Amino acid sequence: MALSTVICIGMAGSGKTTFMQRLNSHIRSKKEVPYVINLDPAVLRVPYGANIDIRDSIKYKKVMENYQLGPNGAIVTSLNLFSTKIDQVIKLVEKKRDTHDFCIIDTPGQIECFVWSASGSIITESFASTFPTVIAYIVDTPRNSSPTTFMSNMLYACSILYKTKLPMIIVFNKTDVKKSDFAKEWMTDFEAFQQAVREDQDANGDFGMGSGYMSSLVNSMSLMLEEFYSTLDVVGVSSFTGEGFDDFLDAVDKKVDEYEEFYKAERERILKQKEEEEKLRKDKSLNGLMKDLGLNDKKDKEDDSADVISDLEEGENDGLVDRDEDEGVERQYTFAGDERLTGEVNEDSTPALQKRYQEALEDVGKSVSSETAENIARYIRQ
């Protein structure tokens, strides 16, 4: 079985991290070892051993202090910094392809920081381009017993599905507190949901639906979401007791097959289109730069591979350092020795950064004449 990636996304308080802990232990109980990644930089403690932990690379409090950001802004910035090295993370996971069946990923509780940020898209697309990837949307079952709250959560899940364009499993968590049968019925029986809306309006009056308009809107949205429900797998689990996790893993296997059959071909088409658009953009930018610098258009572009500084310094062990095992889990750093990615950007590190740019400039200058290199240097100084 090929390594499959499960990205766990959920509202704050939905029990996402506890779900990760239980999923980790459940897979281990089957004599398999998942590869675990934590992408929440603000969490103080995770109840599971992580192979890759963003907190090893990004110091959340230093990011807040150095960039004068609030909690959510610091989370987004930390994810942005981490995503700059996502290629190294993918390489680390690829090396474990033959020894692990699952890679499970925990995301920040502030769901919008991951789902709607550019870094969240980069991380998700990087994994989805390399491994079969499934989104697990965790729902707090007791708090969704109201039709309006339930509908709001389903609309959010719908938006995530169309944002990520990946197979999704709706996971109704905390079934030890309240069974998820009512939610599954609402998703398959429109009449049952309509009845629940009427009962909520009768029971709560102005504190429920608020108006006939609101009731009509919720019913209309429910009708619209029928097709969305048909594409989903729905499971009820209890992270406290472990109930339902076999059903969840069966759903993951089903969604992996669905990924291979439908989503992979569509993603390859989209990535190919983006690659062609990016190539056209780069050619246009290069032609414009050559025209601005007065370079000869007939000069052959012998080497166009070094577009960014990181390309020039890429190596077999680029910035990767092993650390001692922690709780029996192999832990790996992805940013060792890179102070810029821990929020430590200051006057001491700035000269070193300038030196790197200068060295990169000299390497690029070797492929052109000395006169051209001097023109480029003069252009950059200006």
Maximum CA extent, the chain = 82
Is pLDDT at 178 greater than 90 in this prediction?
yes
Looking at per-residue confidence, does 377 or 125 come out higher?
A: 125
Q: Look over the chain and give the mean of its residue pLDDT values, rounded to a whole number.
A: 80
pLDDT confidence of residue 320: 45
- pLDDT digits 0-9 by tens, 221-237: 777 788 888 888 999 99
Tell me the mean pLDDT in the region 314-321: 47
> To which H or E segment does residue 133 belong?
strand 133-140
User: Alpha-carbon distance 258 to 94, whole Å?
Assistant: 21
User: Can you tell me the distance from the alpha carbon of 132 to that of 102, in angstroms, rounded to the nearest whole number?
Assistant: 10
Cβ neighbours around 122 below 10 Å, total: 16
Specify whether the CB–CB gap between 14 and 144 falls below 8 A. no
Given this structure, which CATH class describes domain 2-179+226-258?
A: alpha beta
Inform me whether the pLDDT recorded for 301 exceeds 70.
no
For tokens 């000869």, name the residue. 296
pLDDT > 80? residue 374: no
Of 162 and 105, the one with more pLDDT: 105
Q: What's the gap between Cα 256 and its chain centre?
A: 17
The reported pLDDT for the residue numbered 324 is 45
> What is the pLDDT, as a whole number, of residue 286?
81
Token pair recorded at residue 187? 């998703």
Q: What is the pLDDT of residue 305?
A: 46
Percent of the chain beyond pLDDT 70? 73
Burial degree of 254 (CB within 10 A; 0-12, 13-18, 19+): middle
- Identify whether the C-beta of residue 51 lies closer than 8 Å to the C-beta of residue 332: yes
Mention every residue, 6+ apart, whose C-beta is less than 8 A from residue 164. Answer: 115, 124, 128, 135
pLDDT at 212: 60
| CA geometry: angle 54, 114, 227, nearest 5 deg | 140
CB 63 within 8 A of CB 343: yes
Residue 367 pLDDT > 70, yes or no?
Answer: no
User: What percentage of the chain has pLDDT greater than the value 90?
Assistant: 42
